[in-house]
Amino acid sequence: MKAPGTAYDDDQLGKDPQPADMDHYDDLPHDADHDNGGVHINSGIPNRAFYLAATGIGGNAWEKPGQIWYDTVTEGSLPKDCDFATFATATVAAAEKRYGSGAESEAVQQAWTTVKVLG
pLDDT reported for residue 94:
98
pLDDT reported for residue 78:
95
Condensed to tens digits (0 to 9), the pLDDT of residues 22-40 reads 999 999 998 888 888 888 8
Domain boundaries, the chain: 9-114
CATH code: domain 9-114 is 1.10.390.10
Residues of the chain with pLDDT under 70: none
Q: What are the residues facing 9 on neighbouring strands?
A: 15
pLDDT reported for residue 35:
82
Length of the chain: 119
Distances (CA, A) of 53 to 9, 19, 30, 79: 27, 18, 29, 23
Of 112, 119, 105, which Cα lies nearest the Cα of 21?
A: 112
The C-alpha atoms of residue 99 and residue 97 are separated, in whole angstroms, by 6
pTM of the model as a whole: 0.92
